[in-house]
Amino acid sequence: MSVFAVEFKVRDYECDMQGIVNNGVYFNYLEHARHEFLLDKGIDFAELARQNINLVVVRSELDYKASLTSGDQFTVTVAFEPVSKVRFGFRQQVIRQADQKVVLEGLIIGTAINERGRPAIPEQFAAQLGA
């Protein structure tokens, strides 16, 4: 399984009163990394939407293992994982660069919704994700 990675740096406003990244902010990090992963595979999220194919998240499982603080540099990884004929998964990690500590592990399950509002993953899309 090939792993894609995007580097980030924590911005001050992403931290809560405890001085750590707010748990909800991690969803943004993960989503941005998935969009970059799709672009790297030749899949344009916005173009799919224009074609009435909407990628949606149907389940998120996140295990928080440590905290990031302001200024921390970190990497978000993405690995595609087939789930079923109409669902796909992304195994993701957030890794602090200073010590290679895994801060978060997640599994995001998604599907594609067609113009009739039904789950349907286009063949070309599935082939590109698995490449």
Q: What letter does residue 86 receive in the DSSP assignment? A: S
Write out the H or E segment, with its range, that includes residue 78.
strand 73-82
Q: Give Cα 107 to chain centroid, integer Å.
A: 9
Cite the active site residues.
16
Q: Give Cα 36 to chain centroid, integer Å.
A: 9
Of the candidates 74, 76, 81, which has an alpha carbon nearest to the alpha carbon of residue 107?
Answer: 81
Q: Token pair of 89, please?
A: 């998964």
